[in-house]
Chains A and B, each alone.
Chain A
Amino acid sequence: MARAVARLLIRYLLLACGVVLLNFLLPRLLPGDPLNVGAAEGLDLGPPLTAAAGHQLRTYYHLDEPPAGQLFAYLGDLARGDLGWSIARSAPVSGLLLNRLPWTLGLLGTTLIFSASGGTALGLLAGWAPGSRRDRRLVALMAALSALPEFLVALGLLLIFAVTLRWFPLLGGQTPFAQYSADPLGSGQRALDVGLHLILPAAALVLAGIAGFALIARDVTVGIRYAPWLIVARAKGLSERQIAFRHALPHLAGPLLTYFGLRLGAVLGGALVVERVFNIPGLGLLAYEAIRERDYPVLQALFLLAGLGVLAANCVVEFLYLRLARRQPARYE
């Protein structure tokens, strides 16, 4: 166990080094010039600079140093938590990201919890009677849902529930200019307001994400229907519900955990796009604004943060999987 954990940690440490290195190399390997936005397309769109001014800027940003020197400067900045200075707004990038992070994390957390548990329940329901009408309909629906881009699901919900029915606010993370009193009642009101704004985006992400979990849970359930231990459970006279929850459900944990890890990056991507549909002031909206302003230090920091975050989460998932595999030895013979 200890050796397996050590191997896991080393692997993820190497991958994390890869992310940091990729983040350093990408802007330097790809065509383009930091002093001229149009260079990659062969256009001259940068501000007109005299040779001396250009040289001064290059020296200031360490661009005239050899690659090794640039790498050390970059790693040093990174170690101090310095992710650079935003081009479009006069603020450090790390502060910008930290301000927006809670919105995205909240959206992600809610989505993952609901889509994993809902998908497992649906998959169990479908896989219990494979080939039945319910199963076929559910599989067809889930296959279609899993293929749709998240922002289109979000768009559909927005058009139905916010624009047409007006049940939910159209956009934003909270009501602008709303005054909340300072007492606990006020913070409760604020939480309610934010919750109301986040229901539709979270629902869109859950709808888009639930399908994968449901399909995997269904496949595993179909596969274990005639496993000896399940037949024994039936022979004991347990009710179908007891068999499903006590005996079948724990067997879904392993494959679903693996899929959970695989999906993290994709769900994060979905959250970023959905934030633009609903104007939720999270990392996705920041990315959208940064793209408009060609503010690539922000995008670079976002990539680093997202990459390291997903790697860390995956490392935890694989650690849990190791624990899980140890707790049920020799059951999958």
Chain B
Amino acid sequence: MSEGRALAWIGGSVGVVCTLVVIAPWLAPYDPGALAGPPLAPPDAAHLLGTNDVGQDLWSGLLYGVRTSVLVAGSVTLLSTALSWGIGLAAGMSRAAESVLLPLAELLLALPSLPLYLLTVTLVGPSLLHLILVLALLSWPPFARIVRSLVLIVRAAPYVEAAQALGATPAHIIRHHLLPATLDVLPTKLILTVRFAVFTEATLAFLGLGDPATISCGTMLNHAFDDPLLFSRPVWPWLVLPPAAAIVLLVLLTVWFSQALEGRRAQATHVAVPESTSSKVS
């Protein structure tokens, strides 16, 4: 398959997922929280994936669950990216900001992230908003450091000095000279953060820190695993496999998307063999 077609396919699937997310309330036959049928029913015409141990419809739950994952991923990515760029630009422009923000970034980078998320989300209480805020507020450091280092390089360039000599304001320099120079790493940041958010939301929800009022793939798995007799129930595949497959699919979509993008970029510059694959390491 050519790189362009691969990109089209993956872009198309991303589009399909996004559409599903928007129209989920109309697609779902039941309210995911409602007791819609007998408990632990196998799949039939009324319940496409069967029901869970309290009789909630699993197909509706799955649709809403993917919706939650995408919602969290989108909000966390927007917030975290804005923070990375804001903090990176500030640290690159001002010494005072740098002396405060850089040690904070280093501390956050040095800490094991999961225990930190567990502690903070437990302290503020699990809700979708808190989850989004915690993930966004704790995930800006890597790219803030990258943006800062790019800013430091560009700031020393003669054309920026010339702009300064001509009386350009700092705001003008940031907007027209520094910001454009950092945009090369933006796609990488967006894709990595989407993946990080889906991954972390699922993990936290699986550990019991999902929003109890909102269904997500992680909370569905958590609920299934709360049952000590899960694997002695004949319907266990319907309880476990759909939400797990949904998370895997979402994560793999981001991987394939970034691979296709990279492939297209390599083609454009006539590099046959990708010399570096480290950008795929999350």
Q: Does B67 contact A (CB under 8 A)?
A: no
**A307 contacts which chain B residues (CB < 8 A)?**
111-112, 115-116
CB–CB B275/A222 < 8 A: yes
Q: How large is the interface on A (under 10, 10 to 19, 20 to 34, 35 or more residues)?
A: 35 or more
Q: Does B240 contact A (CB under 8 A)?
A: yes
Stretch at the interface among B12-20, B87-95, B156-164, B252-260: B252-260
CB–CB A131/B273 < 8 A: yes
* Total inter-chain residue pairs, C-beta < 8 Å: 165
CB–CB A30/B123 < 8 A: yes
CB–CB A272/B114 < 8 A: yes
Stretch at the interface among B29-37, B49-57, B75-83, B243-251: B243-251
Shortest Cβ distance from A131 into B: residue: B273
CB–CB B254/A311 < 8 A: no
Q: Does B182 contact A (CB under 8 A)?
A: no
CB–CB B119/A299 < 8 A: yes
CB–CB A302/B123 < 8 A: no
Question: A170 to B130, alpha carbons, bound, how many Å?
Answer: 34
CB–CB A15/B106 < 8 A: yes
Which residues of B (200-257) have their CB < 8 Å from a CB of A?
A: 202-203, 206-209, 221, 225, 231, 236, 240-241, 244, 247-248, 251-252, 254-255
CB distance from B234 to the nearest CB of A (A): 12
Shortest Cβ distance from A307 into B: residue: B111
Which residues of A (141-181) have their CB < 8 Å from a CB of B?
A: 142-144, 146-152, 155-156, 159, 163, 170
Q: Does A139 contact B (CB under 8 A)?
A: yes
> Given that A131-B273, A147-B251, A265-B113 are known contacts, is A273 also in contact with B259, CB under 8 Å in the complex?
no
Q: B258-282 CB contact bits vs A (8 Å, 1 = yes)?
A: 0100000000000011111110111
Question: A211 to B255, alpha carbons, bound, how many Å?
Answer: 13
17 A-B pairs with C-beta separation under 8 A: A19-B107, A19-B111, A26-B120, A30-B124, A139-B277, A139-B280, A147-B254, A149-B203, A151-B202, A151-B206, A163-B236, A265-B111, A268-B112, A276-B206, A291-B207, A300-B119, A303-B115
Taking Cβ atoms with an 8 Å cutoff, the residues of A that contact B are 14-15, 18-19, 22, 26-27, 30-32, 37-38, 40-41, 130-131, 139-140, 142-144, 146-152, 155-156, 159, 163, 170, 211-212, 215-216, 218-219, 222-223, 259, 264-266, 268-269, 272-273, 276-277, 287-288, 290-292, 294, 296, 299-300, 302-303, 306-307, 310-311, 314
Closest 9 pairs (CB-CB, A-B): A269-B114, A265-B112, A131-B273, A143-B280, A306-B115, A303-B115, A40-B125, A18-B107, A303-B119
